[in-house]
Structure 1
Amino acid sequence: MRFNIDGSNEKAQHGYNDSNGIGDGYDPDLAHPAAGYGDGERAVLPPGVSERKLLTRIDLRIIPVLSIMYLLAFLDRTNVANAAIFGLVKDLGLTATQYSTCLTIFFVPYCVFEIPSNIILKRLKPHLWLSICMFGFGLVTICQGLVQGYGGFIATRFFLGLFETGMFPGAFYLIGMWYKRHEAQKRYTFFFGSTTLAGAFGGLLASAIGKMNGMEGYLGWRWVFILEGCLTCAVSFIWFFVIPDFPEDSKWLSEPEREYVKARLRDDQGKSALERRITPRDVLNCFKDYKIIVGGFMYFGLIVPAYGYAYFAPTIIKTYGYSPIQTQLHSVPPWAAAFGWSMLTAFLSDKFRHRFLFAIVNICIAISGFAILMCVHHNTHVMYGALFMITSGTYSAMPIIVCWFSMNLGGHHRRAVGTAWQIGFGNIGGIIASYSFQAADAKTYFHKGYSICISFICLSAFSCVIYFFACVTQNRNREKTHDVGLTDYEKTELGDLSPDYRYML
């Protein structure tokens, strides 16, 4: 697909109406593929199959499965915040620094093994690798509920990060290989919305599980880990059979349907080169493109407020004068509002086929929320309302940034490496978030934590601006570039660096 300088594409100029991301069976992109992409032939739908129905089948087969998988991953990762309200820190005898260190250690393997995990996923196939990881972090979560001290707790947090390392970048990588760029934002955001649903679900679940305090000799915080871990392990066995693979390997589509899906994606994003293994040289070549580095900072800046809120929201809300059970229940509405707002933002972003302004607007909303908390200290309703702005702004901007960046990467090798890099590097921000809020900071109204969050959100906004102008500049330069005589193979190897490729803005 050729994208113009202003972010529009040839479809819009032809009056093609696809506001829902699903066509009516005719797509000008398939009739007129971008030079160098595909074989120049129009992709033909199998007899009796409409594109709308086919995409609906793909949606139902992919998005709910991956969303539930990541909901459980995020739940098992952040339920420590709910457990802390029920006495985890006191029962294990942890100091404030030790507790933050346990949160931090999760991100060490989580950041380091993102790229290797995506390479393994490509080789083993998604359904096998993701289900193995899913069972692993479910089992570790159960073990968290059985630890007896600081050493056991920090060890389980490390292995939790190790097993969860493939969930987020792997799912984003997989989704990106099934949809065209202008179709992806709603799907990405719905998947990413599982984090907000996990926050809401976690608060409700913890408020119920907390009433099991003392049952079978276990305190309430232990039951939070044990029951949620058991749920994850049980689901992982089922998910082995339902997690989808890449379009080229899908068994639930007929051969003509697979060929059609591959053709429409090839004309939008170029040849995928699934058959070729990712080499160390591919990884190094990706980092020669400065946009890859910038993409990491775009996400890094939002991870600090995202995890700062996810890990410490119950601690913050508790200072408003609520009981432990009330605190858990009051943590639910901001997460639910974030899901609704993020889906609305995603729909509009796909409709207008634009990412940059939607990311910036939501970043400004999040900044406003933190600014209110820094200035207002004695009005509970206003402070609680600011939490809605923080969750809605942060958790709406994040999927837009990830979708914008990953869907602008062409080919399996650049998308696998680039997506894993962005998520892996970005999650270093989780280490900073782990130390940004302390219970003792309540005396100063968490001023330090809020200041840190605002600073890093501004870093994300600045990085988005750099990435936007980089895409505009390269699109403009490629419009002026004539055919340089590259072969189809060379263009496939270049991915989005091919002179025929146009970046979405």
Structure 2
Amino acid sequence: MFGKKTTATSPTASDNEAGIKSETNNFYDPNIASNTGVEYDELNVVCPAHTTEKKLMTKIDLRVIPFLCILYLLAFLDRVNIANARSFGLIAELKLQGNQYNTALTIFFVPYILFEIPSNVLLKKFSPRIWLSACMFMFGVVSICQGLVQNYAGLLVTRFFLGVFEAGMFPGCFYLIGMWYKRSEAQRRYSFFFSSTTLAGAFGGLLASAIGKMDGLQGYKGWRWIFILEGVLTSVVALVFFFFIPSFPEDASWLSQDEREYVKARLQADQGRSAAERKITIRDVGRVFKDYKVILGGFMYFGMIVPAYGYAYFAPAIITTYKYSPIQTQLHSVPPWACAFAFAMIIAFCSDYTRHRFLFTIFPIAISMSGFCILLAVHNNTPVQYAGLFLVAMGAYSAMPVIVCWFNMNLGGHHRRSVGSAWQVGFGNIGGIIATYSFLAKDAPKYTKGYAICLGFLCLAMASCCAYAAAVWSENRKRDKTPVDVGLTEYEKTELGDMNPEYRYLL
């Protein structure tokens, strides 16, 4: 069923035409050798006879992406629905004073940051199906409890445990998606997944406007019903998803043996061997952080988190200053999210089509920066201010998935990708703490300090992207000038991942 495969050798003229070839659909990439340097004398891997590559990838798309999108949509919804609840009287009923609301937002990020890397290690140990569905069920339960709290202390406790159980969602899902797709086809999948955050923002606004009308039902205020009903939804979906969340390609029982072998072979040619069979050790973690490019990846995401969470947590409060009622505020929060989703998908398709990432981070960041400049300069023109919010959301939520995809798909192997993806998201989310204190009640309605802080962090993100692009370009050039065959065994190449001198980074 599969063509003969030989071990890697030093490159020759004929080797440079190596790739994975499907006789049924002519999938052939002569540039694979330049991607990873993994050379094959006689690699002629074909799709199983009962399918084609296109059909197989559609099958994978339908099993992997929708479930992870719904999972993260509910996670993000349960995380930021406190902004909707605020519009329906949470602060007044819990008698929050000063910056207590901001502190409640901040405490979520403490465990969320600390448990990113341990969560990804546990995800690999227990399998995504078990780990992700268990975490999903638990943060749904915590969300229900959040709707039943009676004081500030109770709100802090529930926000803390929400951070504990949501810690593994984002890096875990990105890590899992990265183990299914080649680098040239991953961006639109990453962006579609990441855009579940924009759908959550739009869905949350619509849902909150409807649930808010339940104010007083069973003696509960409308803000409580937002937490309770959305938490119940999450927990029920988690029980169902236990049977549907995908595993890694090596363990996917819903693929035939031939299909699993084909998926593994095409990924190996694009990214090198994954070493999925070996456990992650402390030494693996330490080796990842010896690479300065990994540090840059953290700063790229760190710079984006502040404006992204600043918008997610405070957009309803900002829109409220435009003199809208609570329900009108929720409804006006929907269109910017919807436009952000559409723009993110356009950016993703263009990025995958051109097989380029760098410029597709810089352009959206510039758009978001222009939005914050409008908000800083205009204070008495509601339509223009509202248009500024569109630019902020469209730019921030389009650049973030490209940044994460670019960095993650440049990491070779399970170990470096597992640790690196968790590091990027974990370190980046320190920016969430900064975002929660950037928009204080005393700064309303202009929020000059918050807008300026967000603009500054966007500059940091742009500078970090430029530095990372220069680093991978320089590394590729250096490797092009050095001998490819340096006597490494297949095991050594696998252990090195993208540090293998034959590997080539995507710019």
Q: Do both proteins adopt the same fold according to a TM-score greater than 0.5, normalized to the shorter chain? A: yes
- Tell me the residue number matched to 1:3: none
8 A Cα contact 1:37 1:270, kept in partner: no
Measure, in 2, the Cα distance between the counterparts of 1:69 and 1:261. 24
Q: 1:39 to 1:160 in 2, by over 3 A?
A: farther
Report if aligned partners of 1:32, 1:40 keep a CA contact under 8 Å in 2: no
Q: Is the 8 A contact 2:32 2:270 kept in 1?
A: no
Report the CA distance between 1:223 and its aligned residue: 0.2
Residue 405 of structure 1 aligns with which residue?
A: 407
Task: State the alpha-carbon separation in 1 of the partners of residues 414 and 480 from structure 2.
Answer: 25
Match of 1:181 in 2: 183
Residue of structure 2 in register with 1:471 after alignment: 472
1:367 to 366, 369, 377: 369
Deviation at 1:232, TM superposition (A): 0.1
Which of 441, 458, 472 lines up with 2:443 in the alignment? 441
User: Secondary structure at 2:438's aligned position in 1?
Assistant: coil
The residue that corresponds to 2:231 in the other structure is: 229
Question: Of residues 133, 145, 148 in structure 2, which corresponds to 1:146?
Answer: 148
SS at match of 2:149: coil
Contact kept? 1:37, 1:271, Cα under 8 Å: no
Q: CA deviation at 1:38?
A: 7.0
Residue of 254, 270, 277 corresponding to 2:256: 254
1:487 aligns to what? 489
Match status 1:65 vs 2:82: no
Deviations 1:302-357 (A, max 9, x none): 00000000000000000011001000000000000000000000000000000000
**2:130 alignment partner AA:** L
C-alpha spacing 1:38/1:412, structure 2 compared with 1 (3 Å): farther
AA matched with 2:393: T
Alignment of 1:339-418 (within 5 A): 339-418=341-420
* Cα offset, 1:40, TM superposition: 5.4
Partner of 1:323: 325
Structure 2 gaps, min length 5: 1-12
- Structure 2 CA distance, aligned partners of 1:470 and 1:302? 20
Change (3 A) 1:115 1:288: same
- Describe the shift of the 1:64–1:322 C-alpha distance in structure 2 as closer, same or farther (beyond 3 A): same
2:82 is matched with which residue?
A: 80
1:43 shift after superposition: 1.8
In structure 1, what is the equivalent of residue 5 of structure 2? none
Q: Could you say which residue in structure 1 is the equivalent of 2:457?
A: 456
1:241 aligns to what SS in structure 2? coil
For residue 25 of structure 1, report the CA deviation from its aligned partner: 4.0
Shift of 1:37: 5.9
Contact residue 302 and residue 456 of structure 1 kept, 8 A: yes
Unmatched runs of 5 consecutive residues or more in structure 1: 1-9, 17-22
Per the alignment, residue 24 of structure 1 pairs with 25
**Contact 1:73–1:134 at 8 Å: present in 2 too?**
yes
1:187-202 matches, cutoff 5 A: 187-202=189-204
Q: TM-score, normalised by structure 1?
A: 0.94
Write the deviation string for residues 458-480 of structure 1: whole angstroms up to 9, x where unpaired: 00000001000000000001101
Deviation at 1:481, TM superposition (A): 1.0
| Aligned equivalents of 1:32, 1:390: Cα separation in 2 | 40
Q: Distance in 2 between matches of 1:46 and 1:72?
A: 36
Counterpart amino acid of residue 478 in structure 1: R
Matched length? 487
Map of 2:266 onto structure 1? 264
SS in 1 for 2:46: coil
Indicate if the aligned counterparts of 2:371 and 2:388 stay in contact, CA closer than 8 A. yes
Q: Shift of the alpha carbon at 1:29?
A: 4.8
Work out the CA distance in 2 between the residues paired with 1:28 and 1:268. Answer: 9
> CA 1:100 to 1:499, structure 2 compared with 1: closer, same or farther past 3 Å?
same
Distance 1:40 1:415, change over 3 A: farther
Instruction: Name the CA shift for 1:38/1:69 in 2 (closer, same or farther; >3 Å).
Output: farther
Correspondences of 1:215-226 after superposition (within 5 Å): 215-226=217-228
- Change over 3 Å in CA distance of 1:488–1:176 after alignment to 2: same
Whole-angstrom CA distance in 1 between matches of 2:241 and 2:349: 28
CA RMSD of aligned residues (A): 1.7
- The 3 A distance-change label for structure 1 pair 289 and 40 is farther
SS at match of 1:28: coil
